[in-house]
A and B are shown apart, each in its own frame.
Chain A
Amino acid sequence: MATSTLTSEQPRGPRPRRQRSALLHRLDLRGAPYAFVAPFFVVFAAFSFYPLIYTAWISLHHVELASMNLMEWVALDNYTALWEDERFWNALANTFTIGVISTVPQLLMALGLAHLLNYRLRGSTFFRVAALTPYATSVGAAALVFTMLFERDFGMINWLLSVVGVDNVDWENNKWAAQTAISTIVIWRWTGYNALLYLAAMQAIPRDRYEAAAIDGASRWQQFRSVTVPGIRSTIVFTIVLSTIGATQLFGEPLIFGQGPNGITGGAGNQYQTLGLLLYEEGWKNYQMGRAATVAWVMFLLLILVFVLQRVVKRLRSRTSS
């Protein structure tokens, strides 16, 4: 824009032309980096920051989806109501338990799998690709297939159990059975992905450490514990953080697992309703956008709280160790 005013108001000549190019050059040096990063910030402002603030604004109102233009100011009523709502505490507990029973086995299995893949073996690329395949399937497809497998009357898992003489399990209606089934879907999808992250980190560990350990007479298991695990510690922390965020947002798997109205409420007795599902129920079943926005903000605050707690623990720890 500056260039156009320059050209229109000043007569063309050698001097202004040089001035103009100098200005352009400065703009190029100073401005170009901003221009390059601008798209990210524009996208961030439009799709992250604005929704975040607008959600907070909505959460202070009573407003329904069908009439978004009619907003009634209720201050913090939605928050106090949520605090007193046992469904919220139930969803929070479920999010936590499903998170634990899906994350812990998943990371342990990924660690073991990565350790196996780290050996020299024939067709290692094939196994690595195979490990990543579940991650490449969509949540919807995986959840649908597992839902069929876990079906009460004609599902394959109950059929297998009946072969060994176990009665049909009503996977969906039993709290722990339902949570285990949902965790299975999560574990199936993410184990390979985490294993590859671990594998990449493991390959960065110098071979001579293993050789030294072997000379000292360490067994494979001892090598794994004393060389491999400390060597990839930062990657383990990274996957724990990723999985925690993923577990907090758990939504698609339980929704599809229940199917229809029961999926939205996380089972007839809310036995597997996560915070994500509670948000969805308030917003897209009860059409109460104010209450849905409140759940969203509380989820956001919870993540911040976890982050702060983790920092505090870390600081306390480093203080005690030093």
Chain B
Amino acid sequence: MSRVRRQLRTRAVGAISAVAAVGLIAGCGGSGGTGGTGGGVKDGKVTITMGLFGVMGFKETELLDRYMKENPNVTVKAEVAGDEQTYYTALQTHLAAGSGLKDIQGIELGRAKEIVDTQADKFVDLSGIAGIDHFLPWKLSQVTTPDDKVLGLGTDIGPMAVCYRKDLFEKAGLPTDRDEVAKLWEGDWAKYVKTGEKFKAGNKDGKVAYLDSASGLFNAMIYGNSQQFYDKSGELIYKDNPVVTEAWDLASKAATSGLTAKLRQFQPGWDPGLANSTFATTVCPAWMLAHISEKAGPENKGKWDVAKAPKGANWGGSFLGVTEQSPVKEEAKKLIAWLTAPEQQAYLFQELGNFPSSQEALKAPEVVNAKSEYFSDAPIGEIFGAGAQEIPDEQVLGRKDGTIKDIFSQGLTLIESQNQSPDKAWKTTDERIEKAVG
């Protein structure tokens, strides 16, 4: 009897330790290699997962729901990160580890070059998809590899304008009509800062600043040039590029003369600043309208307006790519082709103001004649359309554009909020870029 029990116990121990060991090995091995994307086909039903950031609009405007209604066998699951930096960091980690990826991943313009240079083999070539010749010629070239592989389809682009508060302008004794306002700074960003000095002189409320952040102005200025931080051969030229140094000087002038609310765009404080009216203008690429109207809320409706920017520029704009790992590549390709088709782009512009990257959509009457109810019925189709005309046809991208932009923003924060001298802040910025890029 006792022997039987002992044997049983022995077997049990052996079995337990064997199971434990196998379980551990399986647990470790499972994450490597193939790794799921969350998507797949089950019982004839297709599930497609998406990783997005900011307000790209597909989820917010129920475009995805419409797609699912039209394609009853498809379920789309989209995960939206608020902050692009956080999103991209996670994407890099997932790409390196080969796990945790979605079937479809959003790619921001500032990261396009890095993806093209280092991760091209992890994205599906989209060049063969029928009917995708409707994009602006430079849009797809930004995510095309030297061997003509297209890694993403364009969603929006970011022509610039200036969003301003009519009511605050009136209180400060400035004109409020959008054409007159645009004349105040026509052709020169320095005039935009000059207007700020007038605003400051006329403004009695000490809690209201002219401009939200110096880095917004800096971005608007540098993105009006075809070369920013890098030249065509991939060399870093930010130190000597007059576009960058002029933008730095003007932005730091705005920062040191108390024209800014010392906020950082898309960071805490900025959203409540929009809701509580702590600044009168912000340089806004088309895609920012959605964010402003959402965060400033219905009580500020009709107080905002949009005026033409001193000079045209393109800030951001995104792409949708399909990952090589996805088990549902064909279905995912179909979905992104639909999402970026001219009709959908025109619809997104009407709903959110995300400016189309499709030439066909740009000609559509609902884009050309679009007005934004929230922004005092501003003819945003006309204003951003005119801004888009001024965007340089060639835009040289660099590998670390996104990172360098962040470092410059922080450099301006040093001046704005920590009272550093512009020279010292430039030195720090320069050193940081060397470290980040080297």
A binding-site residues for B, Cβ under 8 Å: 21, 24-25, 27-28, 31-32, 35-36, 38-39, 42-43, 46, 64-68, 85, 87, 147-148, 151-154, 170, 173, 259-262, 264-265, 268-269, 271, 284-287
Q: Which of A21, A42, A65 contacts B24 (CB 8 A)?
A: A42
Given contacts A24-B10, A38-B20, A65-B96, 17 further A-B contacts (CB under 8 A): A24-B6, A25-B10, A27-B10, A36-B13, A67-B118, A85-B435, A87-B435, A148-B268, A151-B269, A152-B269, A153-B273, A261-B85, A261-B406, A268-B411, A268-B417, A285-B403, A286-B435
- Report the Cα distance A284→B92, complex, angstroms: 8
CA distance A268 to B89 in the complex (A): 19
Contact between chains at A259 and B268 (CB < 8 Å): yes
Among the interface residues A27, A28, A36, A271, which one has the most CB atoms of the partner chain B within 10 A? A28
Is B17 at the interface (CB under 8 A from chain A)? yes
Q: Which residues of B contact A (CB under 8 A)?
A: 3, 6-7, 9-10, 13-14, 16-17, 20-21, 24, 28, 83, 85-86, 89, 92-93, 95-96, 114, 118-119, 262, 264, 266-269, 272-273, 276, 278, 403, 406, 409-411, 413-414, 417-418, 420, 428, 435-436
Whether B24 lies near A269 (C-beta < 8 A) is no
Pick the contact of A153 from B9, B93, B278 — CB < 8 Å?
Answer: B278
What residues on A are CB-neighbors of B16 within 8 Å? 35
CB contact under 8 A between A66 and B96, given known A39-B20, A260-B83, A262-B413: yes
**Cβ–Cβ < 8 Å partners of A284 in chain B:** 89, 92-93
Q: How far is the CB of A144 from chain B (nearest CB, A)?
A: 9
Residue of A nearest to B406 (CB): A261
Nearest B-chain residue to A148, judged by Cβ: B268
Contact B21 A42 (CB under 8 A): yes
**Does A66 lie within 8 Å of B118, measured CB to CB?**
yes
- Residues of chain A within 8 A (CB-CB) of B268 are 147-148, 151, 259
What residues of chain A lie closer than 8 Å to B428, measured between beta carbons? 269
Q: Note all chain A residues with C-beta closer than 8 A to B7.
A: 21, 24
**Which residues of chain B are within 8 angstroms of A147 by Cβ–Cβ distance?**
268
A-B pairs under 8 A by CB, number: 109
Known: A28-B13, A66-B96, A269-B418. A260 touches B266 (CB 8 A): yes
Closest partner residue, chain B, to A87 (CB atom): B435
Bound together, the chains give a CA A154 to CA B267 distance in angstroms of 14
With both beta carbons as reference points, the residue of chain B lying nearest to A271 in the complex is identified as B418
Take A28-B6, A43-B24, A46-B24 as given contacts and tell me if A151 and B413 are in contact as well, using a CB distance cutoff of 8 Å.
no
Give the distance in Å from the alpha carbon of A173 to the alpha carbon of B119 in the complex: 36
Neighbouring B residues of A286 by C-beta, 8 Å: 403, 435-436
Contact indicator B272/A153 (Cβ below 8 Å): yes
The answer to whether B272 and A154 touch across the interface, beta carbons within 8 angstroms, is yes
Chain A residue at minimum C-beta to C-beta distance from B432: A265
Question: Once bound together, how far apart are the Cα atoms of A24 and B119, in whole Å?
Answer: 55
Task: Kindly provide the distance from the CB of B98 to the nearest chain A CB, expressed in whole angstroms.
Answer: 10
Give bound CA distance, A35 to B95, whole Å: 37
Closest Cβ of chain B to A108, distance in Å, is: 31
Q: Report how far A21 CA is from B114 CA in the complex, Å.
A: 65
Which residues of chain B are near A268, meaning CB under 8 Å? 410-411, 413-414, 417-418
Q: How far is the CB of A80 from the nearest CB of chain B, in Å?
A: 15
Cα distance A262–B119 in the bound complex, in angstroms = 26
Min CB gap A252→B, angstroms: 14
Q: How far is the CA of A32 from the CA of B6 in the complex (A)?
A: 12
Please determine whether B24 and A260 come into contact, CB atoms closer than 8 angstroms. Answer: no
The 7 lowest CB-CB distance pairs between A and B, nearest first, are A268-B413, A35-B17, A66-B118, A173-B417, A268-B410, A261-B406, A28-B10
Q: How many whole Å from B19's CB to the nearest CB in chain A? A: 10
A46 to B436, CA, bound (A): 31
